[in-house]
Each structure stands twice: as structure tokens, then as C-alpha cells.
Amino acid sequence: MMNIYKISVPEIFFGRGSLKYAGVTARRLGAEKILFVSDSGLEKTGWLDLIFEILERENLQWVKFTTVVPNPRDLDIEEGARLYRQEGCDVVMSLGGGSPMDTAKGIALLASNGGCIRDYEGANRIQRPLPPMIFLPSTAGGGSDISQFAIITDAKRNIKMSIISRTLVPNISIVDPIFLMTNSEGLIITSAIDALAHAIESYVSLLASPLTEVRSLKAIDLILKHLPLALKYRQLDDLENLAIASTSAAIAFSNASLGMEHAIAHSLGGMLDVVHGLIHPILLAPVMRYNLPVCVNKIAKFGKIILGKRLRTDESTARAGIEKLEEFCASLNVTTRLRDIVSDRETLPLVCQMAMYDSCLLTNPRPATWEQMLQICEEVW
Amino acid sequence: MMNIYKISVPEIFFGRGSLKYAGVTARRLGAEKILFVSDSGLEKTGWLDLIFEILERENLQWVKFTTVVPNPRDLDIEEGARLYRQEGCDVVMSLGGGSPMDTAKGIALLASNGGCIRDYEGANRIQRPLPPMIFLPSTAGGGSDISQFAIITDAKRNIKMSIISRTLVPNISIVDPIFLMTNSEGLIITSAIDALAHAIESYVSLLASPLTEVRSLKAIDLILKHLPLALKYRQLDDLENLAIASTSAAIAFSNASLGMEHAIAHSLGGMLDVVHGLIHPILLAPVMRYNLPVCVNKIAKFGKIILGKRLRTDESTARAGIEKLEEFCASLNVTTRLRDIVSDRETLPLVCQMAMYDSCLLTNPRPATWEQMLQICEEVW
């Protein structure tokens, strides 16, 4: 017996040089004046000037909003929405990783629906359509350019709110791997591991469907193959394959949602401002081990990909696969212990209690109490 | 070196019982009065009444247009467009196989862009947006509910025109496998083989990309597994898997296009009114053999799926795979000789000459002259 699945994917322009479509697509969506959301780091790369030239060629106007910070907060977004209205913008465009893109989504939401971000926390709370959105991901990981998700921190409560709605899927995603050439090694790693976490969690999610599962598996395969090569040689070919992986994983998680690992990661990010991509190398494997009893066949499929073969049983393939994932994470230049990114061990119980309210936990294949999540966090302290 | 790929997919509601969303989605798209396109065969099944009840619950009005014929012609479509305007409709909805859905696309096109269908023949010729379209496929094959294609016969010239544009992707596709329960055995077979042809041709297409290839392969696997079971037991589970396959194949071919086999099939359909789904069991294998020299590795991947294993070389795996496909087609209750569906052998040269103008030929992996296509047709006469 199957459920009803709803699949929503933006129009995608994919490939090197596809950024040239930023102008014509905006024009096609009726743009006159664009609110352009990015961050100061990206401004320094020169990409913004290149995009503005493309917009100029279409006689488009734009206003910049580039004061975006990591783990964006609702207050910053309200400021962006004021700017959007005040300047009479009609389209939101964003070049960025997750933070600028989620900020852009929040701005589009408030500009059209009013109120404050907190009003829309959770699934399917947005009533009115958003202004057209065109996103250009500058990293291969977050997938906000594809997904129904926006993750925004409530500055008062210090928690990350998951806002989930099909209206948060941008109209157009322009995935140009050329942007990845200016990513630091650290950013390539944390982004790719974020995409890997999306692929794994969406694959075992309670909402996984045949239309998302192939995407998850493809992403896993590509990341395991191309991340080491991308780090070693910095060639566009491998970076492009990471972009394909990230896009595939995003199509999967946008429509199948995620699981416990992301619930804890959101809680850590909201309460302690921990960088999202640093959390997965630590928590991904132990969460898979926790989920193993209820989805051993699926984790065995993951194992078959990462091991390159099937062992004698599903159980042994799955367990060996998780171990191999730990080796893979350890081989990257990132920590695999929670103590290195969280200053105060005493905060962990509250972190896990708050994670209970995260929407991602609803689709984790195995139910969990906050104490069980705490035990996982303690194991990897 | 990769090209730029543009991927466009409608919002999809998938699963048994998903037809219940016909009303709320139409409402969400601003519908007041719907032009409902279907055919007389489907009217007899009772499905239309069920859908009208769902529309009524949302206080929606509708006008029926059910005089659709197989291989729909531009003249019929002009009539539908007149009805749409005259009745002041604002959304086009269709329940059908390829013919009603392509008719619905043509009506939406003329109602919003004016002129006649021939003005839009080829790729990317549509300038203005179309009215919202919601499609409910009643077969698992054609994929018009997903695709950028509309295939419409020019009644004067007796040729099938391929109209290809991203604006022809419906807003919403509601894929409810329950509709397949009233399909005849013949319709299940020809639809599934059409989807198989979509999967195979899109996989070897010059426009195939990593975002379409996984979809093609998944569809091939599902059809080979579930078509025999669906025919034997008529269980909803197998039919549902054929619907997943058809949807996957449609996502692939909509964005990667097709090849020579469809070019010939369109020509046969336009000139001689041959039923589309009956052509593939005859032409698919010989066209694959023709393409083999330029894509042996890809056809070997197909071979690995259909054989369940890889042979010693790519070449032998590919050749054995094509032979196995011929066995598969022969095991179904359909002809594998062209003479059984074409009355006059003398028309074949003209059929192949006309096929040269079909857009699908542009993406065939190996170039072809009309004489080469004729040779293929003669081989399977």
C-alpha cells in the first residue's frame, strides 16, 4: 500500500555558463526591479558584478541586500522585506549558499504574505503566492534553490524554524558549477556532506517514494566518487558532478523530507549558532545506526554503494557501510567529535528537547525520545 | 564537457486516490469554469462523473469537450479553443491518454496565443503564457501530463507536428493509478511500450543528462518487471509501478527529447493514422541496433538491466539486450511486423522522407538519411 506523494521541482537550468540565463528568465517572469540577496563574501568574488551585467543587458534594475549572515534570523529578514516594498521590487533573486537563499525566501514570504516569519513555522502555513524567485546556488549542498524548505532562526527564542511549503520552491534554479570554483576547501566539504546527509535522510524517510529514492541513491554515489577528486584536483568536472549530486539530493529531500539528524542539526544551529555543514560528519553515522533496526534493507543499499559490493547479509552490508561512511568523514579535514563544535556539554539536553519540535523528526523512520537523541549526542561527544 | 540542460517538471500528485485533488488544485490555480477535455471511451467508464463530483464540491463549473479522436487534428483543436473562449473558461483540465491531453494542450495554446497550431510547430515557438492546465493521465504511457510535447496532426498535410515548449508542461499532473484499472489489455501493453520507448530513446538521446538518465533507467527496469505481472494479475500494485515508470520516462524524455524511432512513429501516425503504441514493438529494436555503434556503452547498460547481468563485453551485453527486448515484445500480444499495421508498402519512402523533418530526429545519437530509415522499415516489413 502506497500513500499519495506530492512532487514539486522548480524549472532548472543546469550547466557551466547557465548563469547567462539570469536576465532572460527574470524578464520572462515579469521583472522590472529585482531584489538581489547575497552575502559580503560572495560580493568579494566578483560574481555579483558579472550577474549585474547580465541583468543590465536586459534593462533590468536591481537593489542589493547583502548583509546576510550565516544562520539567518527573522529580524534580518524583516529588514529585507521592508527594502523590497520600499523599492517597489517585483522579483527576488539570490546568489548564495543556504543563508542568502533562505533569507531571500523569507523576504519573498513577508513581502507578499505580511506578518512575521514565526507565523509560518511548520508545514503548509503559507496562504498567498510569493513573488517570483530565481536562485543561483553558489555552493553544492544546501539545496534551497530546489527545495520547499526555508530554515530561519527565531532571534528571540534562539531556535531554527523549519518553514515548509510548496510555494517556497523557487520558480527557477540556475545551477552553474562555475560558482564552485571560488569555494574554499572547507566550504566544498561541508556543502557536499550536507548534500550527502540530505540524500541519506531522504532515502530512509517515511515519505520516501519511488520518485525520490533514485535521486537519493544517485546523489550518494556521485558525492562519494567526486568529493575526494574535487578536493584533490579542483577540476570543474568533479565540481559539476557535486552540483548534480546536490541538485538530485535536494529534489529528493524537498519532496521526501529529512530525519532525526537534521532535527538535531537545526536545534544546534538555532541555539548555539553551529555551522550546519560541520554537524553531519559527526551525527550522520550514529543516527543511521539508531535507524538501522527499522530500515536495514535500505541502509544495506547505501552500504552496497559505499562498499562497492554487497556482503553476505543486509545487516552486515548495512553495518559495514556505516563504518565506511565514518572512515570517509574522518578522511576529510573536519572533526567527528561534537566537543569540537559545541562549547558547553550541559546544553545538550536542551538541544535535544528542542529537536523534538523540529518537523524533520516527523519523517525519521524510527521514532525517538529526546533522551534517545541525547544518548546519540553523548556517544559522539 | 557538458552542455547546459533545462529541466522542467510539473507539480505532481502521485498515488491511488490522488484524483481527489482535482478540485482543490483547480481552485488554487484560480479556476471558476473549467474546460474538461476527454474522449467518449473514458466517458463510458464513469470516471468523468466521479471527477465532476469532486469539482462540484469546490463549487467549480465545467464544460465538456469529449469529441477527441486518436491522433488528434488541428481542426478539432480549433473547435475546442472556440468553445473555451465562448464559454469563458479559465482552466483546462484533461483526463485521458495522449490524444485528449495533447488536444487539451492545443486548445490551451490557441485560446491564449491565437493563430493556428501550425504556427507553433517545432521547438520554443510559443511566446505567451497558457491558461493553467491540470492533467489526469488515464494510461501509463504517453506522458503528456508531464512533458513539454504536444503531438498534433496537420489535417491538410497529413503529418504529425511536434510542438515543443516549456509552456506546454501542465501546471499540475495528478497521476492516480486507479484509472488504469479500466484499461484494456491492449491499452496497457501499447502504453507501457510507449513509455519503454520514451525511456530508451531519452537515455541514448544527445540531450540526455545526469538528471534525466536515472529516470530513464528506472523506468526501463520497472516496465520490464511489472508489465508482465500487470497483464497476468491486473493488480493495482503492478499498475501503480507502471504509472511510476511512465512518469519517470516522461520526466526524462520531456527534458532530453527522443530519437529516430519516434520520428518514424510520428510520421506513420500522421500520414497513415497508425496507432502510436503499436509501432514501438516493431521499430524499437532495429533502431537500437542502428544506434549501437555510437552508444554501445549505454545500450550495454540497458542490456544489463534486461538480462539481469553483464556479459563479457559492452558490445555483447548490448546485442544480447536488444535480442532480449525483441523476445519481450514478441511475448506480448502485439505484432512485430510493419506489414500488419501499414497497408501499403509503397508509402514507406514518403513516410521516411517526412520523418526527416521531425524534431525528434535531431537528438538521435546517430545521424540518419531517409534511405537509412527506409532500410530499417524494410527490414521489419
Q: Do A84 and A216 lie in a common domain?
A: no
Q: Do B265 and B146 lie in a common domain?
A: no
Burial B14-47 (b: 16+ CB within 10 A, else e): bbbebbebbbebbebbebeebbbbbbebbeebeb
- Does any CB of chain B come closer than 8 Å to the CB of residue A221? no
Q: Do B61 and B168 lie in a common domain?
A: yes
Separation between Cα atoms, residue A94 and residue B270, nearest integer Å: 46
Dump pLDDT digits (tens) for B22-73: 999 999 899 999 999 999 999 999 999 999 999 999 999 999 999 998 889 9
> Residue B276: which of B68, B38, B104, B97 has the closest Cα?
B97
Total domain count for chain A?
2
- Does any CB of chain B come closer than 8 Å to the CB of residue A116? no
A46, part of any domain: yes
- Does any CB of chain A come closer than 8 Å to the CB of residue B6? yes
A5, part of any domain: no
- Does any CB of chain A come closer than 8 Å to the CB of residue B272? no
Contact B9 A7 (CB under 8 A): yes
Helix (H) or strand (E) segment spanning residue A7: strand A5-7
- Does any CB of chain B come closer than 8 Å to the CB of residue A148? no
**Which of B179, B204, B229 is the last residue before a domain boundary?**
B179
Q: Do A241 and A352 lie in a common domain?
A: yes
Separation between Cα atoms, residue A323 and residue B207, nearest integer Å: 38
Angle between helices B210-233 and B296-307 (to 10 degrees): 30
Over residues B160-181, mean pLDDT: 94
Separation between Cα atoms, residue B381 and residue B372, nearest integer Å: 14
At residue A129, the pLDDT reads 87
Contact B240 A2 (CB under 8 A): yes
Q: Which residues pair with B173 in a beta bridge?
A: B12, B135
pLDDT-above-90 percentage for chain B: 90
Question: What is the side-by-side strand order in the sheet with B91-96?
Answer: A5-7, B11-14, B172-175, B133-137, B91-96, B33-37, B61-65
Q: Which residues pair with A163 in a beta bridge?
A: A122, A150
Contact A244 B211 (CB under 8 A): yes
Residues on chain B touching A11 (C-beta within 8 angstroms): 6-8, 166
Burial A314-341 (b: 16+ CB within 10 A, else e): bbebbbbbbebbbebbeebebeeebeeb
Of the candidates B15, B21, B218, the beta carbon closest to that of A2 is on B15
Contact A9 B14 (CB under 8 A): no
Contact A9 B5 (CB under 8 A): no
Q: C-alpha grid cell for residue A280?
A: 553531519
Residues on chain B touching A244 (C-beta within 8 angstroms): 210-211
A361, part of any domain: yes
A153, part of any domain: yes
Q: Do B269 and B163 lie in a common domain?
A: no
On whether the CB atoms of residues A47 and A95 are closer than 8 A, the answer is yes
Residues on chain B touching A248 (C-beta within 8 angstroms): 210-211, 214
* Shortest alpha-carbon distance between residue B347 and chain A (Å): 41
Separation between Cα atoms, residue A44 and residue A36, nearest integer Å: 15
Confidence class for position A128, pLDDT limits 50, 70, 90: confident
Of the candidates B4, B17, B166, the beta carbon closest to that of A15 is on B4
Q: What is the overall mean pLDDT for chain B?
A: 95
At residue B160, the pLDDT reads 87
* Shortest alpha-carbon distance between residue A319 and chain B (Å): 26
- Does any CB of chain B come closer than 8 Å to the CB of residue A52? no
Confidence class for position A3, pLDDT limits 50, 70, 90: confident
* Shortest alpha-carbon distance between residue A182 and chain B (Å): 20
Q: Do B257 and B156 lie in a common domain?
A: no
Q: Which whole-number Å values give the CA distances from B99 to B2, B69, B232, in the listed order?
A: 35, 7, 27
* Shortest alpha-carbon distance between residue B6 and chain A (Å): 4
> Residue A252: which of A180, A291, A195 has the closest Cα?
A195
Residues on chain A touching B215 (C-beta within 8 angstroms): 214
Q: What DSSP designation does B55 have? A: H
Structural domain that includes position A68:
11-179
Other CB atoms within 10 A of residue B144 CB: 30
Contact A218 B214 (CB under 8 A): yes
B60, part of any domain: yes
**Which of B138, B156, B179 is the last residue before a domain boundary?**
B179
Dump pLDDT digits (tens) for B14-26: 999 999 999 999 9
- Does any CB of chain B come closer than 8 Å to the CB of residue A248? yes
pLDDT of residue A1 exceeding 60, the answer is no
Dump pLDDT digits (tens) for A118-127: 999 988 899 8
B5, part of any domain: no
Dump pLDDT digits (tens) for B281-294: 999 999 999 999 99
Contact A209 B13 (CB under 8 A): no
CATH classification at residue A196: 1.20.1090.10
Interface test with A, best of B6, B148, B215 (most A CBs within 10 A): B6
Q: What is the overall mean pLDDT for chain A?
A: 95
CB contact residues (below 8 A), chain A span 306-325, against chain B: none
Q: Which residues pair with A175 in a beta bridge?
A: A14
Over residues A197-207, mean pLDDT: 97
Q: Do A154 and A209 lie in a common domain?
A: no
At residue B1, the pLDDT reads 43
- Of A77-86, A246-255, B77-86, B120-129, least confident by mean pLDDT is B120-129
At residue B158, the pLDDT reads 85
At residue A205, the pLDDT reads 97
Residues on chain B touching A218 (C-beta within 8 angstroms): 210, 214
Dump pLDDT digits (tens) for A340-381: 999 899 999 999 999 999 999 999 999 999 999 999 999 999
Contact B12 A3 (CB under 8 A): no
CATH classification at residue A70: 3.40.50.1970
Q: Do B119 and B228 lie in a common domain?
A: no
- Does any CB of chain B come closer than 8 Å to the CB of residue A359? no
- Does any CB of chain B come closer than 8 Å to the CB of residue A225? no
Q: How many helices (H) and strands (E) does chain A have?
A: 14, 10
Of the candidates B211, B218, B244, the beta carbon closest to that of A14 is on B211
Q: Which whole-number Å values give the CA distances from A6 to A148, A253, B31, B137, B278, in the listed order?
A: 11, 12, 20, 16, 32
pLDDT of residue A2 exceeding 70, the answer is no
Q: Do B175 and B189 lie in a common domain?
A: no
**Which of B160, B179, B198 is the last residue before a domain boundary?**
B179
Over residues B268-279, mean pLDDT: 90
Q: Do B232 and B334 lie in a common domain?
A: yes
CB contact residues (below 8 A), chain A span 186-205, against chain B: none
- Does any CB of chain B come closer than 8 Å to the CB of residue A346? no
A87, part of any domain: yes
Contact A7 B11 (CB under 8 A): yes
B124, part of any domain: yes
Over residues B340-365, mean pLDDT: 94
Over residues A220-247, mean pLDDT: 97
Dump pLDDT digits (tens) for B299-339: 999 999 999 999 999 999 999 999 999 999 999 989 999 99
Q: Do B278 and B336 lie in a common domain?
A: yes
At residue A196, the pLDDT reads 98
pLDDT of residue A9 exceeding 60, the answer is yes
Q: Do B37 and B122 lie in a common domain?
A: yes
Complex ipTM: 0.83
Of the candidates B17, B210, B214, the beta carbon closest to that of A4 is on B17
At residue A321, the pLDDT reads 98
Q: C-alpha grid cell for residue A326?
A: 565514518
* A154, A159, A164, A167: CA torsion to nearest 10: 20
Contact A214 B210 (CB under 8 A): no
pLDDT of residue A229 exceeding 60, the answer is yes
**From start to end of chain B, where are the E strands?**
5-7, 11-14, 33-37, 61-65, 91-96, 122-123, 133-137, 149-154, 159-164, 172-175
